[in-house]
Structures are given as structure tokens and as C-alpha cells.
Amino acid sequence: MDYQLDLDWNDFLARYWQKRPVLLKRGFKNFIDPLSPDELAGLALESEVDSRLVSHQDGRWQVSHGPFESYDHLGETNWSLLVQAVDHWHEPSSRLMRPFRHIPDWRMDDLMVSFSVPGGGVGPHLDQYDVFIIQGTGRRRWRVGEKIALKQHSPHPDLLQVAPFDAIIDEEMEPGDILYIPPGFPHEGYSLENALNYSVGFRAPNARELVSGFADYALSHELGSQRYSDADLVTREHPAEVQQSELDKLRGMMLELVGDPQHFNSWFGEFISQSRHELDAAPPEPPYQPGEIYELITAGETLQRLGGLRVLRVGDSCYVNGEAMVTEQMQAADALTRHTTITQEMLGEALEDPSFLALLCALINNGYWYFND
């Protein structure tokens, strides 16, 4: 299904994005669920899929992590099954991500899907990232509070909740409704009946992650090997003192490393194009040969991008799943980043370049793109 989001993006970004929560009634008109509760439960049986069950009975919260073998022990109320990165494993669900590409791809993370029975939820909490919550089958009540300091506590080691809060949004959501919540706004949702919810989440790396990631890049590329030097050293009255000029010089060495645009862009492309969840890549057997790729595409076959695959452009370079696409055919490489379905027209004359064709063949043989049946 081709999901069409009824939203004025310019108005939304100006008034709400990272500013205020908002409920978008019938954001998706005539919404149809891309998967069923049984399909979601089946995904949670797989070891590669990140899933959890959250329940609460008599004031006690319980959390268990998949893969699950059975759901026979569950009752009819007060539990939720949550599955991360469903867009990686279920192609129809991945289409729910596409209407949100008005926000840059590098900020987008994954699609989390939950199935809840009456009373099911994870309790009042807050997130440090933006999220669009799409209501599927069933009804669910959502409350969102103001962004104020709230005491947090852990009723279970795997749950972090907040104290009760006054609601600025308190609504029952029906199929096709969308709730946008910026970072730091407390919220809670619980089902009024059996219900599916789809959460489109976004990345928001903190400085610690960025510094750690760049340090790994510097080590792997053997950058920053120049040592501190002080040929202008003179004696000082206090031998244990580290002088401010020395601190400035040391900090400058570090800033110079990060400040190199070529290395910074290369690192960020590799860093941000890596998926945080496993991909459902299925390399073809036997592998394709470049000539076969050429014949199929020129015969009118189209290529489909693997769900959850991160393909980004940083400056004049394109990256896929943590690696740079090394090619002089930038127009064709840009098409791979821009479109989820690739046609012969999008690749153009690049198909006549043996080196680009070899790159494309390698990407297909990695399972990153596949031919539509």
C-alpha cells in the first residue's frame, strides 16, 4: 500500500517539530494495517528480531525479552508485545516510513510496532528522541504532559517511568490518527481494546556517541599520530603546573583532527549510515554477475532497496550501511540514496561504466538491493 500522509509539512515543522506535541486526527485516511497481530507475534519468535513483552498485574511490572516460544501464558488484559525495527523484516511495514522522509533520512531510525490488549502499555515515561505514533487497528488512549522536570523511577530494571503528570493532550486515538511527541515530553498510552500501534522513531546522537565514534574512526585510519611538541619551552617557577598555553595547544591538536572536513565527513557518513538493528539481508544464490545485472535492468526490471537499509549522501560522497560507495558516477549513486525503487532511467549512462556496474553488482550480492518479482 502507498501511504499518503495528510500533513502540511512546512506548517508542522515551523509550529511543532521539536517544540510541541500534536495529535493529527486522520493523518492517514482509510488506514490499513500493513501487518496483523499474528504476523507481529511471528516476528518476535525469531532470534534476530529485538522484541519484548511488558505486563503489569496487581501493581507489579514485568518485562521479558524475545525470542519467544509461546504466548499461551498471557491473559486477556494488561500486556503489550513490542517489536523493534519491523521495517527491516516486513516490507509492507517499511512503506509506513516513506511519508516521513520530509525529515532527513539520517535522522530517521526505525519502525517499532506494538500489539496491546486492553490495559496494555509500558507506563508513563519520556523519550529523548522524536516519535510519530500511528494508531492502527483498535483504540488506545494517550496522555501527554508538559516538558517539565519529573522524577523518574524504575519499577523494573528494564523500565524507566516518570511520576504522574498533568495532561496537555488526553485523547482516544483511532485508526489513522497520529500523535507526534518531541523529546522530553512525558507520555503514556494504554489500550482500550486489542490494538496495533506503529512508532516512527528518530535518531538524536549525543556528544558522547559522536566523540566515541570519531575516536574509533581515527584509530582505524591511524589519524592523529603527530605528537605534542614544545621547542619554545622555558623554565617555570612551579614545575607541577600545566600552563594555559599548553592546554590550549593540546586542545588545538584535538580540534584540528575533528576540524578536518574531509575526515569528518567521511567518518560521519560511515557512522550515521550504519543500522542500529540487524538487517534482513538475503544475498542471492548463486551471486549475480555484472552482465546479468545489466541485462535485467535494461530489460525493464526494477531494483528495490532492502527495508531498513541506510543509504545517505554526505557532501560529494554516498554511503551505504557504514561503507562509502566508491564511484565516479555520482548521479547514479545519488539516485540510489534518493529513491527506494530504482529504474534503468535513474541509473542512466552509469550502466555502461564497468566499474559502476561492478559496484552495483556487489551491492545486490550483499542483499542490499533486490529485483522486484
Q: Are residues 51 and 29 part of one domain?
A: yes
What CATH number has the domain bearing residue 309?
3.40.366.30
Q: Are residues 217 and 93 part of one domain?
A: no
What pLDDT score was predicted for residue 165?
96
Range of the structural domain that residue 73 is part of: 9-202
Does residue 308 lie in a domain region? yes
On whether the CB atoms of residues 178 and 27 are closer than 8 A, the answer is yes
d(CA 304, CA 372): 6
pLDDT band at 2 (very low <50, low <70, confident <90, very high): confident
Does residue 281 lie in a domain region? no
Does residue 284 lie in a domain region? no
pLDDT digits (tens, 9 = 90+) for 200-232: 999 999 999 999 999 999 999 999 999 999 999
If you ran DSSP here, which 8-state letter would residue 288 be given? P
Q: Are residues 166 and 60 part of one domain?
A: yes
Cα Rg of the chain, angstroms: 25
Q: Are residues 190 and 164 part of one domain?
A: yes
Per DSSP, what are the bridge partners of residue 187?
125, 144
Does residue 283 lie in a domain region? no
What pLDDT score was predicted for residue 283?
96
> In 3D, which of 249, 335, 266 has the Cα closest to residue 297?
335
pLDDT digits (tens, 9 = 90+) for 235-251: 999 999 999 999 999 99
User: What's the total number of domains in the chain?
Assistant: 3
pLDDT digits (tens, 9 = 90+) for 124-160: 999 999 999 999 999 999 999 999 989 999 999 999 9
What pLDDT score was predicted for residue 1?
79
Q: Are residues 213 and 191 part of one domain?
A: no
Percent of the chain with pLDDT over 90: 97
On whether the CB atoms of residues 361 and 290 are closer than 8 A, the answer is yes
What CATH number has the domain bearing residue 164?
2.60.120.650
User: How, if at all, do strands 167-173 and 108-116 pair?
Assistant: unpaired
pLDDT band at 41 (very low <50, low <70, confident <90, very high): very high
Does residue 61 lie in a domain region? yes
> Mean pLDDT across the stretch 110-115?
98
Q: Are residues 183 and 48 part of one domain?
A: yes
> Mean pLDDT across the stretch 187-202?
97
What pLDDT score was predicted for residue 64?
96
Average pLDDT, the chain: 96
Q: Are residues 339 and 254 part of one domain?
A: no
Q: Are residues 143 and 17 part of one domain?
A: yes
Q: Are residues 219 and 150 part of one domain?
A: no
